[in-house]
Structure 1
């Protein structure tokens, strides 16, 4: 649990450069027409010779010559005439060549964006696959917190917020697709390169109170004094308890009275809370106390003081242990612990029409239990979605999920540093009070 005291005011693939595939009209189909006039038949020139007869015998050489000639002619007539020889085909017409096809162009990976430098942090570009457990979160549960943050968007978020407001993710897959399409993940680290930090928790206390002082309800909660802005710093916690001038300045500024100074302390550490308040007529109302200012004194951890005093071990100085110690301590010793922290927080009362609505954080939007965190605004701007990789309080069980940067706190300083909002009530108090876990952090920012 860390002090709240928030500040006021709050690559796609490339097209392949190749020619289109050849269509049928790009290819020339041509039929070669052969001649239909037959070549002269050889048999037509020699068939008339086959009709010669021997005639009468001739005497002497002439007779022998005639016989030889007749024999030659008969032999020629016995040979089958050759088949008609086709006319030689003309050479085929040339087919126009297809346009050359460019070699495929290899897709290029977009160059990684340069690192982003903020006053207290450095952001390095990351890939979605580097976010541990990214596919396991109930991403659609972020939407109420995302829409709340978009009511006061950070610079550069107007377009994404408009599309997020019009988009109602039907399931976690659609929500993840939207975020991956719209946003670029960045690993958050310190300016010196440290990637591991600290996650603590806070909650909204619920305190029983009375509108008028009465037995058992004698410790007041105050609005800001009229001269708070003129006197810097204002009276310390010890001075408020001991100096008449401080008591005079606070007279008439009481909102309500509670049973124990520990109730006041927890409300001041958390920066806001709820009162179940009894009115003078005996009726009860549930109201909210919102942060309205502080005395401009430094915050000092009462847990650290108890460790230094030897009252608590370093690994056990959480809020449940501090409360238990205070309830058992002698009044003088309890007062010493309270005075060790000079900072005092003042409140304003607000109606609570919707009990499900969380308190307003430094972004001036309602916080969402389990989906809102406090950050150092010099490292992460308000309204930034974050992916956190940490563990459950006093456990090694992973706590990996989407959250929104919507608040800050006095002790929330540095790059890899969050205060996780657990919600309202006793269970939230137990979880928040015990949370002090290692943290890795990614910011999601518009492309």
Structure 2
């Protein structure tokens, strides 16, 4: 029966105000593909992808997904590819915008539990008054008024305000203490102000062209221009607070939107309006370093919007940051949906 359905619907298309994969309505055009149409599918490490899928599938409550998760738990590594091919159908969902793959990473900063001459920049927990309002003080006021000082809100102190700024952009990270131990911090709230890109501001000022801007370029410019650099960071009024994530070992990946550790080069952040959290996603990323890999949508991001938009988790530390900072590649992403869910998206008169 499954083979017959693949023959009939292998290239089926449906368009219009369609119901997207997570239930949101949007103008989309979607096609059910055959696994043979996925470039490089046969060469991937499906067993590794299955392990990543198992890391979050137990949290999926929808009956379709819960049944697949139960089946996944009994699979052997050798049967991983057959599992995906038997129980899922690849669905290409497009919203008219070109595919874009970027990268994100977990920063690692040097820090201390106590302030010193070197470690002078605090990583703050969210104060109660900021929790009780939708819009609190902007970044400039938080950092210049002393409103957070001497209140016991400091998780740690770090040695570089620029790295701390980018830690806030990433939303989570690790802090390496002088004795070699680690503190992991995660997103603990924000002041409610809209994020403003300092990279775009440098382009607006004529300092760089758009194609020249990356995280490393911005960091270098701020450090070379300490006074103007400090003002540039104030251009972004958004301020992120943190919490100590003691329940996750520092040896594991940071927590994603599903409150589970994410996996380097197997986890993506995607738009849940099109891609259900926890769903396997086949990634065909082009660019300088092409990638063909089965990943899992285990995270989200405020800038990750659209059917063909994904942020790939690269890893932890400076090398991962350099890779993530230069990733801006085309390609396509194909969501693997349970068979019932995939065919339910088809028009009734097909």
One fold, TM greater than 0.5? yes
**Structure 1 residues 293 and 162, CA, compared in 2 at 3 Å: closer, same or farther?**
same
**Structure 1 residues 114 and 209, CA, compared in 2 at 3 Å: closer, same or farther?**
same
Q: CA deviation at 1:113?
A: 8.1
Q: Establish whether residue 128 from structure 1 lines up as the match of residue 35 from structure 2.
A: yes
Q: Establish whether residue 139 from structure 1 lines up as the match of residue 67 from structure 2.
A: no
Q: CA deviation at 1:384?
A: 1.0
Q: CA deviation at 1:348?
A: 0.7
Aligned ranges for residues 184-203 of structure 1 at < 5 Å? Answer: 184-190=89-95, 193-194=96-97, 196-203=98-105
Q: Establish whether residue 388 from structure 1 lines up as the match of residue 283 from structure 2.
A: yes
**Structure 1 residues 121 and 427, CA, compared in 2 at 3 Å: closer, same or farther?**
farther
Q: CA deviation at 1:210?
A: 1.2
Q: CA deviation at 1:268?
A: 0.5
Aligned residue-pair number:
329
Q: Establish whether residue 326 from structure 1 lines up as the match of residue 222 from structure 2.
A: yes
TM-score, normalised to structure 1's length? 0.69
Structure 1 SS opposite 2:264: coil
**Structure 1 residues 344 and 353, CA, compared in 2 at 3 Å: closer, same or farther?**
closer
Q: 1:141-183 CA distances to partner (integer Å, 9 max, x unpaired)?
A: 212210112131152201110111121213xxx3221101010
Q: CA deviation at 1:117?
A: 2.1
Q: Establish whether residue 164 from structure 1 lines up as the match of residue 154 from structure 2.
A: no
Aligned ranges for residues 6-25 of structure 1 at < 5 Å? Answer: 11-12=1-2
Structure 1 SS opposite 2:8: coil
Q: Establish whether residue 265 from structure 1 lines up as the match of residue 161 from structure 2.
A: no
- Gaps (5+ residues) in structure 1? 1-10, 15-106
Question: Is the 8 Å Cα contact of residues 151 and 365 (structure 1) preserved in structure 2?
Answer: no
| Distance across 2 between alignment mates of 1:264 and 1:213 | 15
| Distance across 2 between alignment mates of 1:108 and 1:372 | 31
| Distance across 2 between alignment mates of 1:235 and 1:225 | 11
Structure 1 SS opposite 2:100: strand
Match in the other structure for 2:210: 314
Q: CA deviation at 1:324?
A: 1.4
Match in the other structure for 1:296: 192
TM-score, normalised to structure 2's length? 0.88
**Structure 1 residues 323 and 108, CA, compared in 2 at 3 Å: closer, same or farther?**
closer
Match in the other structure for 1:231: 133
Match in the other structure for 1:359: 254
**Structure 1 residues 214 and 227, CA, compared in 2 at 3 Å: closer, same or farther?**
same
**Structure 1 residues 168 and 354, CA, compared in 2 at 3 Å: closer, same or farther?**
farther
Question: Is the 8 Å Cα contact of residues 91 and 336 (structure 2) preserved in structure 1?
Answer: yes
| Distance across 1 between alignment mates of 2:262 and 2:152 | 31
| Distance across 2 between alignment mates of 1:409 and 1:276 | 25
Question: Is the 8 Å Cα contact of residues 216 and 259 (structure 1) preserved in structure 2?
Answer: yes
Match in the other structure for 1:242: 144
Q: 1:306-361 CA distances to partner (integer Å, 9 max, x unpaired)?
A: 111222221121111111112211x2201121111111111111237644310110
Match in the other structure for 1:109: 8
Q: 1:36-88 CA distances to partner (integer Å, 9 max, x unpaired)?
A: xxxxxxxxxxxxxxxxxxxxxxxxxxxxxxxxxxxxxxxxxxxxxxxxxxxxx
The RMSD of aligned alpha carbons is 2.2
Larger Rg: 1
Structure 1 SS opposite 2:90: strand
Q: Which moved more, 1:293-302 or 1:131-140?
A: 131-140
Question: Is the 8 Å Cα contact of residues 154 and 382 (structure 1) preserved in structure 2?
Answer: no
Q: CA deviation at 1:298?
A: 0.5
Q: CA deviation at 1:228?
A: 2.0
Question: Is the 8 Å Cα contact of residues 223 and 255 (structure 1) preserved in structure 2?
Answer: yes
Question: Is the 8 Å Cα contact of residues 375 and 408 (structure 1) preserved in structure 2?
Answer: yes
Structure 1 SS opposite 2:128: coil
